[in-house]
């Protein structure tokens, strides 16, 4: 056991020393792997943040009830009373058609269009907030639709849902990107190990001749793949972290304009470790494939 550990330790030291001997090539490989991993990683981080925003918004789901044009003051009062009695209703706000028009006129985009209109096309509306989530609101929908003088029920969770499915699409895209670039990482490691095997051809040949086992000869290449993968993973994390810092500067200013304290948040330690493990495994895989492919070709004569 201690012998096994010592051999691995010696191999590790040897491998690190070898990497250190050609810092340029090592750095280049690590950068290539790092950038390849940083792309899906950055996408994943953005999606995670967007998802968090969507959830925060969806946390206070609203329903808009648009009333029939012929609803009068009495109808509105009756409706208000019934809505207040509904279970789970937390907030109820009445927006008259005049107020709605005023609100709309505030926004520059619509001002011209609206002033061209002779009559007010907008209906009266109630905005309902519930304590429950989007799912409960959906259950409430048919009940609301059946109320007298209610012309149309608009679930505000609908756009959250749309966002959710967009996010899902994004996640799938990131996943495909990650899979493709993972193949790229394996290929990069495959090639590094191939070159390393070539430069050490003599040593491998002599080692085989004087009694080195295949396991012993393979070991340093596995170490190399693992180390290179892990370093690439670290580089990817560093790249994404730097990008987060830079983006957060601009986002901070933008969010302030909207009265929000939104910031991109970086991965937690668990996610970081998972990524490093993933990169290490990919490196190992590339090394494994390369070693299986190239080492058997070196047979001393």
Partner 1 sequence: MISFSQVRKSYRGGHEALAELSFAIDSGELVFITGRSGAGKSTLLKLIPAIERPTSGTVLVNGQNIGSMRRAAIPYLRRNLGLIFQDQKLLYDRSVFDNVMLPLAFTGHAYKDAARRARAALDKVGLLAREKANPVTLSGGEQQRLCIARAVVNRPSILLADEPTASLDSTSAAEVVEMFRSFNQVGVTVLIATHDEGLVQRLNPRVLALKQGRLES
Site membership for partner 1, residue 210 (CB under 8 A): yes
Q: Which is nearer to partner 1, 204 or 234 (CB)?
A: 204
Site membership for partner 1, residue 17 (CB under 8 A): no
> Pattern of binders to partner 1 over 173-202, x per CB under 8 A?
-----------------------------x
Q: Which is nearer to partner 1, 110 or 216 (CB)?
A: 216
Position among 17, 85, 249, 301 found at the interface with partner 1 (CB under 8 A): 301
Q: How far is the CB of 209 from partner 1 (least distance, A)?
A: 6
What single-letter DSSP state applies at residue 156?
T
If DSSP codes are grouped into helix, strand and coil, which group holds residue 68?
A: coil
- d(C-alpha 143, C-alpha 238), whole Å: 52
Q: How far is the CB of 277 from partner 1 (least distance, A)?
A: 29
- d(C-alpha 18, C-alpha 196), whole Å: 10
> Pattern of binders to partner 1 over 216-255, x per CB under 8 A?
x---------------------------------------
CA atoms within 13 A on the CB side of 127: 10
Question: Which tokens sit at 158?
Answer: 């609908």
Question: Which tokens sit at 104?
Answer: 């709309």
Could you give phi then psi for residue 156, rounded to 5 degrees? -75, -15
Site membership for partner 1, residue 104 (CB under 8 A): no
Q: Which is nearer to partner 1, 116 or 210 (CB)?
A: 210
Number of residues that bind partner 1 (CB under 8 A): 19
Q: Which is nearer to partner 1, 98 or 214 (CB)?
A: 214
DSSP string, 19-70: HHHSHHHHHHHHHHHHHHHHHHHHHHHHHHHHHHHHHHHHTS-EEEEEEPTT
Question: Which tokens sit at 110?
Answer: 């619509």
- d(C-alpha 44, C-alpha 267), whole Å: 10
Q: Which is nearer to partner 1, 20 or 211 (CB)?
A: 211
Position among 96, 154, 207, 248 found at the interface with partner 1 (CB under 8 A): 207
Position among 168, 179, 214, 260 found at the interface with partner 1 (CB under 8 A): 214
List interacting residues with partner 1 (CB under 8 A): 3, 6-7, 10, 202-203, 205-214, 216, 300-301
């Amino acid at each position: 056991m201690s012998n096994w550990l010592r051999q691995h330790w010696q191999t590790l030291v040897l491998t690190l020393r070898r990497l250190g001997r050609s810092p340029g090539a090592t750095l280049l490989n690590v950068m290539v792997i790092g950038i390849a991993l940083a792309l899906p990683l950055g996408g994943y981080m953005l999606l995670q943040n967007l998802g968090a925003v969507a959830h925060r918004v969806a946390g206070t789901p609203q329903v808009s009830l648009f009333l029939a044009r012929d609803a009068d003051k009495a109808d509105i009062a009756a409706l208000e009373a019934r809505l207040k009695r509904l279970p789970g209703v937390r907030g109820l706000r009445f927006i008259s058609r005049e107020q709605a028009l005023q609100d709309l006129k505030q926004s520059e985009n619509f001002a011209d269009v609206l002033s061209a209109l002779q009559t007010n096309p907008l209906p009266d509306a109630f905005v309902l907030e519930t304590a429950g989530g989007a799912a409960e609101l959906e259950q409430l929908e048919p009940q609301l639709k059946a109320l007298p003088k209610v012309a149309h029920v608009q679930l505000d969770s609908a756009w959250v849902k749309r966002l959710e499915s967009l996010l899902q699409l994004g996640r799938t895209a990131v996943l495909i990107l990650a899979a493709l670039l993972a193949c790229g990482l394996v290929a990069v490691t495959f090639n590094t190990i191939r070159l390393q095997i070539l430069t050490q051809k003599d040593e491998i040949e002599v080692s085989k001749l004087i009694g080195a086992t295949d396991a012993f000869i393979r070991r340093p290449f596995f170490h190399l793949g693992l180390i290179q993968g892990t370093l690439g993973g670290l580089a990817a994390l560093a790249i994404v972290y730097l990008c987060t810092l830079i983006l957060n500067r601009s986002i901070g200013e933008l969010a302030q304009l909207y009265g929000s304290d939104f910031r991109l948040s970086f991965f937690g330690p668990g996610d970081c470790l998972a990524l490093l493990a993933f990169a290490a495994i990919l490196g190992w895989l590339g090394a494994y494939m390369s070693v299986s492919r190239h080492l058997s070709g070196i047979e001393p004569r």
